């Protein structure tokens, strides 16, 4: 019995009057939508992923794309997606894998929060004329300053733990070499070096092309320990232990053997073509004291010269977990919300497990504050930060800094088509195919990413100036400068934010 | 906005409240007749080792019996009385100001090196956050706050502040935006030995508030100024930082200035800023803080509010307006304007 | 030229100053270090490079030799949690038993344990390029031996044990390398993705140097172990999870 085919996701059409058969679409589409036959460009719409590569390259704007060109009988419960997933699983009996972040239409809390500005009782500050401080230090801070007094002279006793110094509170999150291409990673690395901030290496080790920018990297150690040796740990400006990821909390991941090319194999230190499996837990961490042990082990190995971050997915009990981490020797807690991106995740996890970053970061900030240790550890928010407003709101909800991932990839061309797991990314980002990877010029790519960071930084300065703040410390956790718009009381209480008008 | 003025006689000679009343009244333009107040140090020499707890009661029944019970649980009441007041046509008596002279037991509080202070701090927080109809607005030794909703001269006359003699006086004339007409919202704010008068608005209030709350303080006055008192108590008393360094934490130099400092000083300021980042105060402000040992005045980092300093011999004046200083002391010898964030310190000489 | 070893009495010492001393000694050219009265100090030799031998008398704490790259540690005593964790190169010779997760994610070098080890021994060991990690155990091992194993060799001699391993989950998710256990192992003990194959004469020839080195190190006569009475457990596939997923 045949289940038949499901309808096209997208229909591509060409305005034949406009088309000059320049062949750019044929050359650019790595999925094989276009082919030339008998001097005519033929289209196989079924292969289209809506990556827009052809559209962006067409000099005549001759290509049209229509989403869901075939209607189903509409039904509020049995959505098209629900029906098609069932057909897929009936056919295969397998777990559905999907790319990019959570694709369910949950309300976006960021869009229900509004920022404040000064009127009369305090002046706005113009960041173009007046000082505006976005410098952010990530790492452990002392609870109080220790000093000695010698006849009037105050002598500092406190020795500060190593902190990362950021010129702007925007960092680029961990996307491993393997998940993304070397040219993509190189673009990001050059961009953070230009903008005085940091990027995560992901769990795939560090390719030697990144070495010149290693002072701007945070090296990640995940459960698979890929590419982890003492040299790698010493290269990073900081080390991050990845416990979980917002897109797929509670499960591991694996890079399929076909993506483990010779360079990826070198960097990960595994044989070519072998699956790179990251187990769900770190098998030397089955409890919080084991985490503390790994944190200290990493510090011990690197002579206590590197801050160690711990990244967790935002799950229900995130605040208590973060508080436990804060009381280890960890210098920062990274919270990855359920909208965090990924190259591939089981769809059921991506769409249903975890909580939004807004609530998670507010709850963590509150818990640490209640325990009197908020300023002693840094909090980094990630997972679905789209613009400088999300950034400002994250900081007002209690983050020290944010990681961006998808936003940085969009700056490299990504159109969020969500087919990263197929390894054929026509933008040269989520692929290891040399002919696709070379589509990214790291110099140009880095400029785009640096532009984005720079633009958000400017906007953040403007937002702060309008709120009468000239230092990022004064925005951090400052719930007075946020109001909830159409949020329910329970959520307002979690966010510790008042309602608009209140 | 508001008007502030403070004065210290560094030899600890005591002056009565009449001249500061005149000075504050001169700055009536800065207020709105909805709040004024005074604090004076050295006014209760007869109770040198008692905390003078000033309370606004809505009535003398439940609120007072609850406060009595709390105080008696934690210590001994040496003396108590209604604070003498004198009806003024322009001032509606909303509360009954009361004062206790209180000696806390020092063996009830654990985990502290200053049990008396911490006990009193705990009592103040407990009463203000839990006892309906009672508000502690002054809790230091040998000092007292006198404040109400009204014009400076009405409030002064209501309490007859010329009857009190102190070596430090701070005064404040309020133009409220947050809590008009509320007696508790008038300045000075006081906790233990710390008193604060403040002109401006603290845009970092949300952050500062979370920080002091994280350290066991409860913000109950619905206004931003009280965090200044708590920040000084936390950094100055509990962490033991000298006033200049507290000011350095609350209104620090900019990073580009710190980067230029000599290495040792750079490290000091960097550690200070990192340690006390959540205590950094933003927004327009001019503040004068007093303790029994002296006063310190400072403004925000980009000088969004005015502050003028005058000196004559042992007398140091800090005010929003030069004229107010000259009203108090026509023979003032030097007048100058401090730089943004620069602490102006007047210490008693003993 | 014989040089006296650097002897450190570490009684009551914290691991951070201890490791600092070791690092400084190695940097200054010391090639032989003896640590006496070791008791619970974690992370000994952590991230250490170089050509040095460290003799440890006592019971070191967890993560002994973690990230280590080169040195040799000989331990006269038991070891706790995860010795050889993510070790890159070098040797741990333990004249006693060890705790859970021994040689976790080890990429190169050798961890020899004369006695028994706990659960999840050799978990996620992996080989790469010229690096080939070996975990050899004289006694027995507990469950989930070689879980997620991606390369290298685990050898269990089962001295004084019958059978050599009684716990389940051997080689769960194994996708590289091999687990060799003395005697005939019941297939019911194998984890998902593991399969048992015959241990051949060629295998014996290949492993004889390892067996001999192990026995020599611990003063055991190797002769009784040089036969084909072993079970060899290898991945059923190098892609244990292939076929689990369908694309969206």
pLDDT in tens, B52-63: 999 999 999 999
pLDDT in tens, A448-472: 999 999 999 999 999 999 999 999 9
Antiparallel, parallel or unpaired: β B143-148 and B134-138: unpaired
Does B211 lie at the interface with A, CB-CB under 8 angstroms?
yes
Q: Is the model's pLDDT at C133 over the cut of 90?
A: yes
A451 touches A464 (CB < 8 A): no
Mean pLDDT, rounded, for C27-40: 96
- Residues in chain B, pLDDT under 70: 1
Q: Looking at the partner chain, which of B214, B245, B275 has a beta carbon nearest the beta carbon of A372?
A: B214
Q: Is the model's pLDDT at C177 over the cut of 60?
A: yes
> Smallest CA–CA separation between C169 and chain A, in Å?
15
Find the angle CA(B110)-CA(B115)-CA(B116) to the nearest 5 degrees. 150
**Residue-range domain boundaries for chain C:** 1-96, 102-248
Does A132 lie at the interface with B, CB-CB under 8 angstroms?
no
Contact C107 A300 (CB under 8 A): no
- Using the structure block, give the residue that is written with the tokens 């510090």: A299
CB-side exposure of A335: number of CA atoms within 13 Å?
37
Chains B and C are in contact, defined as 3 or more C-beta pairs closer than 8 angstroms: no
Mean pLDDT, rounded, for A472-499: 97
- Could you report the predicted ipTM of this complex, rounded to two decimals? 0.92
Superfamily of domain B3-347: Aminohydrolase, N-terminal nucleophile (Ntn) domain (3.60.20.10)
CATH code that applies to domain A165-499: 3.20.20.70
Q: In whole angstroms, what is the distance from residue A8 CA to residue B103 CA?
A: 82
Q: Which chain C positions have a beta carbon within 8 Å of A297's beta carbon?
A: 42-43, 46, 63, 66-67, 85
Q: In the annotation, is B2 catalytic?
A: yes
Is residue A49 packed enough to be buried (19+ CB in 10 Å), middle (13-18) or exposed (0-12)?
buried
Q: What is the pLDDT of residue B176?
A: 80
pTM for the model: 0.93
DSSP string, B121-184: HHHHHHHHHH-TTEEEEE--BTEEEEEESS-HHHHHHHHTGGG-EESEEEEEE---SSSTT-GG
Question: Three-class SS of residue C7?
Answer: strand
Q: Which of residues 125-154 of B touch A (CB under 8 A)?
A: none
Query: Chains contacting A with at least 3 CB pairs below 8 Å?
Result: B, C
A211 touches A239 (CB < 8 A): no
In the set B1, B2, B156, B344, the catalytic residue is: B2
Does A297 lie at the interface with B, CB-CB under 8 angstroms?
no
Mean pLDDT, rounded, for C33-58: 96
CATH architecture of the domain formed by C102-248: 3 Solenoid (2.160)
Mean pLDDT, rounded, for A217-225: 95
Q: Looking at the partner chain, which of A266, A274, A304 has a beta carbon nearest the beta carbon of C175?
A: A274
B9 touches B166 (CB < 8 A): no
Most confident of A100-104, A274-278, B185-189, C87-91: C87-91
DSSP string, C41-59: --STTTT-BSS-EEEEEEE
Q: Which chain B positions have a beta carbon within 8 Å of A469's beta carbon?
A: 203-204, 282-283
Residue A295 Cα to chain centre, angstroms: 23
- Using the structure block, give the residue that is written with the tokens 């102006």: B344
A16 touches A42 (CB < 8 A): no
Mean pLDDT, rounded, for C212-227: 96
Fold of A10-94: Alpha-Beta Plaits (3.30.70)
Q: Looking at the partner chain, which of B214, B280, B302 has a beta carbon nearest the beta carbon of A473?
A: B280
Q: What is the pLDDT of residue C2?
A: 62
Contact B210 A481 (CB under 8 A): no
Q: What is the pLDDT of residue B172?
A: 94
Q: Is the model's pLDDT at C240 over the cut of 80?
A: no
Chain A interface, best mutation among B2, B238, B274, B300, by max A CB count within 10 A = B274
Mean pLDDT, rounded, for C220-232: 96
Contact B282 A141 (CB under 8 A): no
Give the number of A-C residue pairs with CB atoms closer than 8 Å: 139
CA distances from C14 to B304, C60, C74 (A): 52, 12, 20
**Residue-range domain boundaries for chain A:** 10-94, 165-499
Contact C248 A422 (CB under 8 A): no
By C-alpha distance, the chain B residue nearest A126 is B302
Q: Looking at the partner chain, which of B205, B271, B281 has a beta carbon nearest the beta carbon of A158?
A: B271
């Amino acid at each position: 019995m045949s289940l038949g085919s499901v309808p096209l996701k997208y229909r591509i059409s060409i305005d034949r009057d406009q088309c000059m058969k320049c062949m750019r679409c044929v050359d650019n589409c790595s999925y094989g939508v276009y082919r030339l036959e008998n001097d005519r460009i033929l289209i196989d719409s079924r292969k289209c992923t809506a990556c827009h590569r052809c559209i962006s390259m067409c000099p005549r704007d001759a290509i049209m794309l229509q989403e869901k060109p075939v209607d189903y009988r509409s039904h509020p419960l049995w959505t098209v997606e629900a029906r098609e997933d069932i057909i897929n699983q009936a056919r295969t009996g397998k777990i559905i894998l999907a790319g990019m972040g959570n694709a369910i239409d949950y309300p976006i809390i960021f869009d229900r929060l509004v920022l404040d500005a000064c009127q009369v009782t305090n002046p706005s500050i113009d960041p173009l004329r007046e000082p505006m401080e976005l410098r952010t230090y990530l790492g452990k801070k002392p609870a109080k300053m220790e000093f000695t007094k010698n006849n009037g002279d105050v002598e500092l006793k406190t020795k500060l733990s190593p902190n990362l110094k950021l010129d702007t509170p925007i960092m680029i999150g961990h996307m491993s070499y393997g998940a993304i291409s070397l040219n993509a990673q190189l673009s990001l690395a050059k961009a953070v070096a230009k903008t005085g901030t940091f990027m995560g290496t992901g769990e795939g080790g560090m390719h030697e092309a990144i070495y010149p920018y290693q002072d701007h990297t945070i090296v990640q150690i995940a459960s698979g320990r890929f590419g982890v040796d003492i040299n790698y740990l010493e290269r990073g400006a900081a080390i991050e232990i990845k416990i979980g990821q917002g897109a797929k909390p509670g499960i591991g991941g694996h890079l399929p053997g076909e993506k483990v090319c010779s360079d990826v194999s070198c960097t990960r230190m595994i044989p070519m073509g072998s699956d790179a499996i990251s187990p769900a837990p770190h098998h030397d961490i089955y409890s919080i004291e084991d985490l503390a042990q790994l944190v200290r082990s990493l510090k011990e190995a690197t002579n206590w010269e590197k801050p160690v971050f711990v990244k967790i997915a935002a799950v229900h009990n995130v605040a208590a977990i973060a508080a436990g981490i804060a009381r280890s020797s960890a210098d920062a807690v990274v919270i990855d919300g359920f909208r965090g991106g990924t190259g591939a995740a089981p769809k059921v996890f991506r769409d249903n497990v975890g909580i939004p970053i807004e609530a998670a970061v507010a709850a963590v900030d509150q818990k640490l504050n209640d325990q009197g240790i908020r300023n002693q550890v840094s909090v980094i928010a990630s997972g679905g930060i789209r613009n400088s407003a999300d950034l400002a709101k994250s900081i007002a909800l209690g983050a020290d800094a944010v990681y961006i991932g998808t936003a940085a990839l969009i700056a490299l061309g990504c159109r969020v088509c969500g087919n990263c797991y197929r390894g054929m990314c026509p933008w040269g980002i989520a692929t290891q195919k040399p002919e696709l990877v070379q589509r990214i010029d790291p110099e140009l790519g880095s400029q785009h990413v640096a532009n984005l960071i720079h633009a958000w930084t400017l906007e953040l300065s403007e937002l702060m100036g309008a709120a009468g703040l000239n230092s990022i410390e004064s925005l951090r956790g400052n719930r007075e400068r946020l109001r909830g718009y159409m949020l329910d009381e329970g959520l307002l209480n979690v966010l510790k934010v008042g309602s608009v008008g209140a | 906005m508001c008007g502030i003025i403070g004065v210290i006689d560094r030899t600890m000679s005591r002056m009565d409240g009449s001249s500061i009343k005149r000075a504050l009244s001169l700055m009536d333009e800065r207020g709105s007749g909805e709040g004024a107040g005074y604090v004076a140090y050295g006014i209760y020499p007869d109770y040198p080792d008692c905390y003078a707890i000033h309370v606004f009661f809505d009535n003398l029944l439940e609120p007072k019996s609850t406060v009595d019970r709390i105080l008696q649980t934690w210590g001994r009441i040496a003396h108590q009385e209604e604070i003498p007041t004198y009806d003024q046509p322009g001032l509606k008596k909303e509360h009954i100001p009361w004062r206790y002279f209180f000696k806390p037991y020092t063996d009830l509080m654990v985990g502290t090196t200053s049990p008396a202070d911490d006990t009193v701090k705990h009592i103040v927080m407990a009463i203000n956050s839990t006892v309906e109809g009672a508000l502690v607005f002054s809790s230091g030794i040998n000092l007292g706050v006198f404040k109400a909703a009204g014009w400076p001269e009405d409030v002064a006359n209501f309490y007859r502040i010329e009857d009190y003699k102190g070596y430090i006086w701070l005064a404040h004339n309020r133009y409220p935006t947050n809590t008009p007409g509320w007696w508790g919202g008038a300045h000075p704010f006081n906790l233990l030995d710390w008193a604060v008068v403040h002109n401006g608005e603290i845009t970092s209030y949300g952050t500062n508030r979370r920080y002091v709350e994280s350290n066991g303080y409860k913000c109950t006055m619905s206004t931003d100024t009280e965090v200044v008192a708590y920040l000084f108590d936390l950094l100055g008393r509990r962490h033991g930082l000298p006033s200049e360094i507290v000011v350095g934490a609350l209104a620090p130099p900019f990073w580009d200035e710190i980067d230029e400092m000599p290495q040792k000083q750079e490290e000091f300021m960097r550690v200070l800023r990192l340690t006390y980042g959540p205590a950094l105060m933003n927004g327009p402000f001019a503040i004068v803080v007093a303790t029994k040992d002296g006063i310190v005045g400072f403004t925000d980092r980009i000088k969004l509010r005015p502050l003028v300093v005058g000196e004559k011999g042992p007398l140091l004046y800090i005010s929003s307006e030069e004229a107010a200083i000259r009203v108090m002391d026509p023979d003032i010898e030097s007048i100058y304007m401090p730089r943004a964030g620069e602490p102006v310190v007047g210490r008693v000489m003993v | 030229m014989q040089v006296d070893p650097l002897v450190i009495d570490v009684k009551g010492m914290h691991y951070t100053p201890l490791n600092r001393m070791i690092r400084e000694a190695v940097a200054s050219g010391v090639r032989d270090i003896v640590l006496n009265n070791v008791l619970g100090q974690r992370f000994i030799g952590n991230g250490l490079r170089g050509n040095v031998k460290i003799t440890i008398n006592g019971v070191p704490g967890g993560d002994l030799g973690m990230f280590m790259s080169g040195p040799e540690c000989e331990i006269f005593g038991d070891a706790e949690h995860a010795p050889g964790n993510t070790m890159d190169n070098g040797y741990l010779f333990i004249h006693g038993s060890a705790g859970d997760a021994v040689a976790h994610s080890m990429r190169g070098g050798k961890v020899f344990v004369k006695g028994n080890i706990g659960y999840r021994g050799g978990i996620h060991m992996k080989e790469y390029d010229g690096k080939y990690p070996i975990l050899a155990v004289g006694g027995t091992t507990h469950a989930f031996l070689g879980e997620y194993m991606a390369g290298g060799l685990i050898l269990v001699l089962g001295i004084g044990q019958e059978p050599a391993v009684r716990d389940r989950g051997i080689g769960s998710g194994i996708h590289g390398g091999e687990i060799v256990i003395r005697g005939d192992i019941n297939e019911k003990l194998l984890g998902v993705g593991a399969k048992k194959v015959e241990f051949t004469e060629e295998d014996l020839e290949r492993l004889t140097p390892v067996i001999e080195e192990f026995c020599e190190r611990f003063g055991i006569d190797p002769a009784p172990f040089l036969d084909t009475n072993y079970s060899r457990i290898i991945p059923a596939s190098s892609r244990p999870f292939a076929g689990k997923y369908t694309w969206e």
